[in-house]
Amino acid sequence: MHDLYESPLIKRYASKEMSNIFSDDNKFSTWRKFWIALAETEKELGLNITQDQIDEMKQHIHDINYEEAEKREKETRHDVMSHVFAYGIQCPKAKPIIHLGATSCYVGDNTDVVIMKEGLLLIRKKLLQCLKNLRDFAMEYKNLPTLAFTHLQPAQLTTVGKRACLWIQDLVCDLEYLDFVIDNLKLLGVKGTTGTQASFLNLFENEHEKVKKLDDIICEKMGFKNKYFKVTGQTYTRKQDMIVLNALSSIAESAYKFSNDIRILQSLKEIEEPFEKNQIGSSAMAYKRNPMRSERISSLSRYVIINSLNPAITASTQWFERTLDDSANRRIVIPESFLAVDGILNLYINITSNMVVYEKVIEKHIKEELPFMATENILMEAVKKGGDRQELHERIRIHSMEAAKKVKQMGESNDLIERICSDTAFKLDKDDIIDALKAENFIGRAKEQVEEYIKSDVDPILTECSEKMNIDINV
């Protein structure tokens, strides 16, 4: 069918795995799991619920009768009660006790947290793969000198591997934040209409300890032992959504920075993203090799960063125990942000798995700029040979300005070194000057920084995560 709008995030960018996490099947089957956990716990705490009723509910976790739910929702305008009704049709024995004592947010909010955690874990896995790809790239090119830039103007040299470590470090920061968010996600628990648990206190005939245990047991059953909000209104605090989407925004920010760097490097013809054999760069200019994947990262990242403002405003404007102006916004903003970040990381993994480095172009660019950067070293060598520092400094300044004029105004090559070689005041052989112009003399501790950072910070993360998550990340 092509007559209805389909989200490009699902159709073009996100993985099936992430799309499945935010699917109706996953959402509504998780609702049913929470209803089963509620019934089981209420039975364990003494309410008149039978095992037959619970077994019946368990038989229909995944075969959701959508037609019945949709038909009922058209009449009632209430999605949760429509699914309670549809579940009751499939479970006639359990029908009287489904959703007993609960309010809609019991299934809605708790399920949202479960789904967000599933999404965050998938994102974490992909983030680690990006780290692994960049780690290997950094180690491969730790020695390769390249022009560094400040203000997008040539500065001193760095190495290609050292620059990759800047990308890596951003992702390590994101991983630390992501782990914090995952470890601190909390369920709503079982709180009732205004968060006071009054309906459950009534069900358990004012036995407060049983109501407290209800919260504890259900959350543990659903994989969140001791991880639930102790006080709430009808919903969990919407600040939690803000925290989650800020973590996604943080990843998008890092990816955006990386993608912009790659776009500039590809313009300089120093590094290119992978280009497929039959890929078309431009419909008009057949010779073009556009950084399309990096541009797509930039585009999706901008969307995620802007989206992170939504939950902040929602959290700010919830009145007292709750209002419903969060609902429509959350239905769109949360899934779409996850799907977009999933798409971003798919692209990030693809690019970093096979970036192309043009070493001769990088060397050519260094040779064009290095004479200016090497003047201090040349000056010191000339002083060692008996030259006057002040006089030589002035001569270098004049030669540099003339060489720059030839480059910028006449479009000719940089002849600074030839000028210095022919200036007898410097008393230097050409070999002395060439030695002073070796690029490796200008990279400082870039190589060592790469080796030390990878060894001390990156490899331990990859090794630990590989073992814990059963991910094949060899270091």
Residue 48 lies in domain = 16-97
Tell me, yes or no, if 151 is annotated catalytic: yes
Question: Quick one: what percent of the chain has pLDDT higher than 90?
Answer: 77
Domain annotation covers residue 7: no
Domain shared by 42 and 151, yes or no = no
The structure's pTM equals: 0.91
Residue at which a domain ends, from 37, 63, 97: 97
Phi and psi based region of residue 319 (left: phi greater than 0; alpha: psi -120 to 50; beta: remaining): beta
- Is residue 228 a contact partner of residue 188, using CB atoms and an 8 Å limit? yes
Return the residue matching tokens 């739910």. Answer: 69
Query: Residue 475: pLDDT above 50?
Result: no
- Is residue 272 a contact partner of residue 289, using CB atoms and an 8 Å limit? yes
- The CATH number of the domain holding residue 42 is 1.10.275.10
Domain shared by 47 and 91, yes or no = yes
Cα-flanking dihedrals φ and ψ of residue 295, to 5°? Answer: -65, -35
Domain shared by 294 and 267, yes or no = yes
Query: pLDDT by residue (tens digit) across 288-341?
Result: 578 999 999 999 999 999 999 999 999 999 999 999 999 999 999 999 999 999
DSSP reduced 3-state for 101: coil
Domain shared by 395 and 269, yes or no = no
Q: Tell how many helices (H) and how many strands (E) occur in the chain.
A: 21, 4
Query: pLDDT by residue (tens digit) across 1-45?
Result: 567 888 999 999 999 999 999 999 999 999 999 999 999 999 999
Q: Which long-range contacts link 150-159 to residues 24+ away (Cβ below 8 Å)?
A: 152/264, 154/365, 154/369, 156/373, 156/442, 156/444, 157/366, 157/370, 157/373, 157/439, 157/442, 157/443, 157/446, 158/443, 158/446, 159/443, 159/446, 159/447, 159/450
Look up residue 457 and give its amino acid: D
Query: Residue 407: pLDDT above 90?
Result: no
- Is residue 142 a contact partner of residue 451, using CB atoms and an 8 Å limit? yes
Domain annotation covers residue 228: yes
The closest of 457, 255, 257 to 349, measured between CA atoms, is 255
Rounded to 10°, the helix 160-184/446-453 angle is 30
Domain shared by 321 and 428, yes or no = no
Domain shared by 85 and 113, yes or no = no
Domain annotation covers residue 113: yes
Domain shared by 327 and 286, yes or no = yes
Domain total in the chain: 3
- Is residue 224 a contact partner of residue 141, using CB atoms and an 8 Å limit? no
Do strands 153-159 and 271-272 pair parallel, antiparallel, or not at all (unpaired)? Answer: unpaired
Q: Find the catalytic residue in 62, 78, 267, 282.
A: 282
DSSP 443: S
Tell me, yes or no, if 259 is annotated catalytic: no
Domain shared by 79 and 135, yes or no = no
- The CATH number of the domain holding residue 399 is 1.10.40.30
Rounded to 10°, the helix 239-267/309-316 angle is 160
Hey, what are 330's tokens? 């959350």
Domain annotation covers residue 475: no
